[in-house]
C-alpha cells in the first residue's frame, strides 16, 4: 500500500502490510488509499541546546502529521536514542488508525527527539523541550496538531512545552498539549489512562475464552508507567502476574509477584526485585532473574509487551508460548512474526486498540481545556471504560463475522471510518459520475 520511498523504511513498510490485509475486507475508494500512502507533513528540525558545562549540543527532532482528515493531528513526543524519521512516521501512521478506531475527532501525528534523556540534567531537559517547541511551533496548534507524552516524556515536560508555545503565541494555549500537570490544565486519570484502557480491554475479552483471573498467569515486558500500572490493576483484580521486566531485565516467580511491593522497591532503589513490603520494610522473596527475551518465552496464559516496538520477530516468534497477547507497546510484533502467531492460533489483541486509552483521555483533556469544565477521576474513568468496551466489542464482532484475526478487524473498522471521511471531500466516482 505504501509508496516506493516509504517501502524502504522498515517500520513504515511493516505497518503498511497490516493495511493490505484489511483492504481485502473493506470497500474504500482508490482516492482514499492514495491519500493514506503519504504523510501530510513531515518536519525535521535541529535543536541547539546550551549544556550545563557551557558547551553547545545540537539535537535532531521530528514532528509528523500523517493525516488530519478526521480532525487535528494527535500524537506523543518521545525522547529516545533510537528516534528517527522512519520511526516517527510509523508511529504517526499508527496513530491515524488508532484515533479512527476509537472514533475520536483526531488524525494521527507523532514527534520525537534523538536523545538519551537519562544523560541530561533537568535544566538541560527543559531547555531541550522548549527548544523543540521553538522549532516546531508553526506546525502545531490546538486545531492543527496536539502533543502528548510518550516514551521518556512526562507531565512536567508537557507543561514546559505548553508554556513555551503559550509564550510564543502571547496567549494561554492549554489545549495544544495534553498529559500536562493538573495545575496547568491536565486531566485527572491521564497518567493511568493507557493502563486503564488496556485493563478494560483485557477484562472485556478474556471472559470470552472462559479465563478466570485467579487461574490466569500474566507476564509483562516493560515496567514503565503503563506496564507497572497495568500490572497493579491486574494483580488487584486477582490475576497471577508471574513476571515483569524493565530495560535491564526482569524477575519471574511462578507463585506470583506482589506487584505493589515490586513497584515500591523499584521506585526506591531503581532495581527489579521480587519483594514483599510491610510498612517500611521489604523482604526479598524467592524469584528468578530473567532477561527480556526469556520473559517473552515464558509459559503463561497472557503476554503483555509494554516496552518498545519489534520485540517479537522471526528470530524469537517460535519461542512464544502465550495463547493471548495484548499489545500495550506500539508495534511490538513485526508483520512476519504476526503471521506466524495467527497461524498458530495465538490471539493477538492489537496496539491500536489495547493502548488507545492514552489518546482517549488526551481527547478528554483537550475537550476539558476548550470548555474550561473539568471532570472528576470517576467521570474520566467511566467515560474511558465505556469507550474502550464499545470499540473492543466492535473489533471482536468484526473478527467473528468476517472470520479474520483481531488486528485485521481493528484496521477494517478504522479504514471504514477513514474512508468515509476522505470520500466526504469527493472522490473519482463523485467527480466523474455525479452533478453538483
Q: How many residues in the chain?
A: 436
Decide if pLDDT at 217 tops 80. Answer: yes
* Predicted pLDDT at 7: 39
Residues 332 and 261 occupy one common structural domain = yes
* Structural element, H or E, at residue 122: helix 122-136
How does residue 262 score in pLDDT terms, banded at 50, 70 and 90? Answer: confident
Q: Quote the CA–CA distance of 224 and 221 in Å, as a whole number.
A: 9
Residues 53 and 131 occupy one common structural domain = yes
Q: Quote the CA–CA distance of 57 and 51 in Å, as a whole number.
A: 7
Residues 138 and 232 occupy one common structural domain = no
* Predicted pLDDT at 428: 67
**Range with the poorest average pLDDT among 56-65, 88-97, 106-115, 258-267:** 258-267
Hey, what's the cell of 258?
506482589
Q: Supply the CATH number for residue 272's domain.
A: 3.40.50.720
The bridge status of strand 217-221 relative to strand 240-246 is: parallel
Contact in structure between 368 and 189 (CB atoms under 8 Å) = no
Q: Kindly state whether residue 412 falls inside one of the protein's structural domains.
A: no
Q: Kindly state whether residue 135 falls inside one of the protein's structural domains.
A: yes
Its sign, for the CA torsion 406, 409, 413, 414, is positive
* Predicted pLDDT at 213: 95
Residues 173 and 268 occupy one common structural domain = no
Q: Quote the CA–CA distance of 174 and 292 in Å, as a whole number.
A: 39
The bridge status of strand 56-67 relative to strand 106-114 is: antiparallel
Q: Quote the CA–CA distance of 249 and 289 in Å, as a whole number.
A: 7
Hey, what's the cell of 96?
491515524
Q: Kindly state whether residue 63 falls inside one of the protein's structural domains.
A: yes
Domain final residue pick, 127, 150, 177? 177
Q: Kindly state whether residue 206 falls inside one of the protein's structural domains.
A: yes
Domain final residue pick, 333, 354, 375? 354
Q: Kindly state whether residue 250 falls inside one of the protein's structural domains.
A: yes
258-270 as b/e, with b when 16 or more CB fall inside 10 Å? bbebbbebbeeee
Q: Supply the CATH number for residue 64's domain.
A: 3.40.50.10860
Residues 130 and 241 occupy one common structural domain = no
- Please report, for residues 108, 209, 381, the alpha-carbon distance to residue 386 in angstroms, rounded to integers and kept in the order given: 22, 21, 8
- Please report, for residues 27, 52, 152, 305, 309, the alpha-carbon distance to residue 79 in angstroms, rounded to integers and kept in the order given: 38, 19, 5, 19, 15
Cα 161-164-170 angle, rounded to 5 deg:
140
Q: How many CB atoms lie within 10 A of CB 335?
A: 18
Q: Quote the CA–CA distance of 368 and 274 in Å, as a whole number.
A: 40
Mean pLDDT, residues 199-225:
95
Largest distance between two CA atoms of the chain: 77
Residues 154 and 86 occupy one common structural domain = yes
Mean of pLDDT over the chain = 91
**Range with the poorest average pLDDT among 3-17, 279-293, 363-377:** 3-17
Q: Quote the CA–CA distance of 222 and 297 in Å, as a whole number.
A: 15
Residues 148 and 205 occupy one common structural domain = no
Mean pLDDT, residues 138-158:
95
* 208 is a catalytic site residue: no
Query: Of 364, 66, 372, which is closest to residue 191 (Cα–Cα)?
Result: 364
Catalytic residue among 74, 110, 180, 188: 110
* Predicted pLDDT at 436: 53
Q: Quote the CA–CA distance of 235 and 242 in Å, as a whole number.
A: 10
* Predicted pLDDT at 2: 52
Its sign, for the CA torsion 139, 102, 301, 277, is positive
- Please report, for residues 61, 106, 198, 365, 419, the alpha-carbon distance to residue 351 in angstroms, rounded to integers and kept in the order given: 25, 17, 9, 21, 21
Q: Which residues on neighbouring strands pair with residue 271, listed in sequence order?
A: none
Residues 244 and 347 occupy one common structural domain = yes
Q: Kindly state whether residue 187 falls inside one of the protein's structural domains.
A: no
Residues 203 and 347 occupy one common structural domain = yes
Q: What percent of the chain has pLDDT over 90?
A: 75
392 three-class SS: helix
CA distance from start to end of the chain? 31
Hey, what's the cell of 140?
502545531
Domain that holds residue 253: 193-354
Contact in structure between 50 and 56 (CB atoms under 8 Å) = yes
Residues 118 and 207 occupy one common structural domain = no
* Predicted pLDDT at 8: 41
Domain final residue pick, 302, 334, 354? 354
Q: Kindly state whether residue 434 falls inside one of the protein's structural domains.
A: no
Conformation bin of residue 356: beta by default, left when phi > 0, alpha when psi is -120 to 50: alpha
Residues 213 and 314 occupy one common structural domain = yes
Top-confidence residue, 24 or 188: 188
* Predicted pLDDT at 36: 85
Residues 139 and 272 occupy one common structural domain = no
Structural domain total, the chain: 2
Amino acid at each position: 500500500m505504501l509508496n516506493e520511498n516509504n517501502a524502504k523504511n522498515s517500520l513504515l513498510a511493516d505497518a503498511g502490510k497490516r493495511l493490505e490485509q484489511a483492504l481485502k475486507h473493506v470497500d474504500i475508494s482508490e482516492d482514499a488509499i492514495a491519500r493514506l500512502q503519504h504523510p501530510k507533513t513531515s518536519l525535521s528540525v535541529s535543536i541547539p541546546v546550551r549544556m550545563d558545562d557551557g558547551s553547545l549540543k545540537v539535537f535532531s527532532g521530528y514532528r509528523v502529521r500523517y493525516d488530519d482528515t478526521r480532525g487535528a493531528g494527535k500524537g506523543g513526543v518521545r525522547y529516545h536514542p533510537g528516534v528517527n524519521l522512519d520511526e516517527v512516521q510509523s508511529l504517526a501512521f499508527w496513530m491515524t488508525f488508532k484515533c479512527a478506531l476509537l472514533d475520536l475527532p483526531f488524525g494521527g501525528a507523532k514527534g520525537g527527539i534523538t536523545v538519551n534523556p537519562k544523560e541530561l540534567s533537568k535544566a538541560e531537559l527543559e531547555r531541550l523541550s522548549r527548544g523543540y517547541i521553538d522549532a516546531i511551533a508553526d506546525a502545531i496548534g490546538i486545531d492543527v496538531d496536539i502533543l502528548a507524552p510518550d516514551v521518556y516524556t512526562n507531565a512536567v515536560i508537557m507543561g514546559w512545552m505548553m508554556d513555551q508555545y503559550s509564550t510564543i503565541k502571547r496567549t494561554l494555549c492549554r489545549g495544544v498539549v495534553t498529559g500536562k500537570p493538573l495545575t496547568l490544565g491536565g486531566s485527572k486519570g491521564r497518567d493511568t489512562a493507557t493502563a486503564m484502557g488496556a485493563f478494560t480491554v483485557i477484562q472485556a475479552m478474556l471472559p470470552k475464552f472462559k479465563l478466570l483471573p485467579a487461574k490466569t498467569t500474566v507476564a509483562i515486558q516493560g515496567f514503565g508507567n503503563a506496564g507497572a500500572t497495568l500490572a497493579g490493576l491486574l494483580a488487584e483484580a486477582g490475576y497471577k502476574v508471574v513476571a515483569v521486566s524493565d530495560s535491564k531485565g526482569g524477575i519471574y516467580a511462578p507463585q506470583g509477584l506482589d506487584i505493589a511491593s515490586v513497584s515500591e522497591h523499584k521506585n526506591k532503589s531503581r532495581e527489579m526485585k521480587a519483594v514483599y513490603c510491610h510498612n517500611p520494610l521489604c523482604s526479598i522473596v524467592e524469584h528468578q532473574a530473567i532477561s527480556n527475551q526469556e520473559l517473552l518465552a515464558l509459559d503463561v496464559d497472557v503476554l503483555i509487551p509494554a516496552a518498545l516496538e519489534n520485540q517479537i520477530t522471526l528470530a524469537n516468534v517460535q519461542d512464544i508460548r502465550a495463547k493471548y497477547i495484548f499489545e500495550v507497546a506500539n508495534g511490538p510484533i513485526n508483520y512476519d512474526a504476526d503471521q506466524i502467531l495467527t497461524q498458530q492460533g495465538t490471539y493477538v489483541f492489537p496496539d491500536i486498540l489495547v493502548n488507545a486509552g492514552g489518546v482517549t483521555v488526551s481527547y478528554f483533556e483537550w475537550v476539558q481545556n476548550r470548555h474550561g469544565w473539568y471532570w472528576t477521576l470517576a467521570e474520566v474513568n467511566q467515560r474511558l471504560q465505556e469507550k474502550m468496551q464499545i470499540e473492543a466489542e466492535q473489533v471482536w464482532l468484526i473478527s467473528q463475522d468476517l472470520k479474520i484475526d483481531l488486528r485485521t478487524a481493528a484496521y477494517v473498522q478504522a479504514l471504514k471510518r477513514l474512508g468515509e471521511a476522505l470520500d466526504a471531500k469527493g472522490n473519482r466516482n463523485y467527480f466523474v459520475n455525479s452533478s453538483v
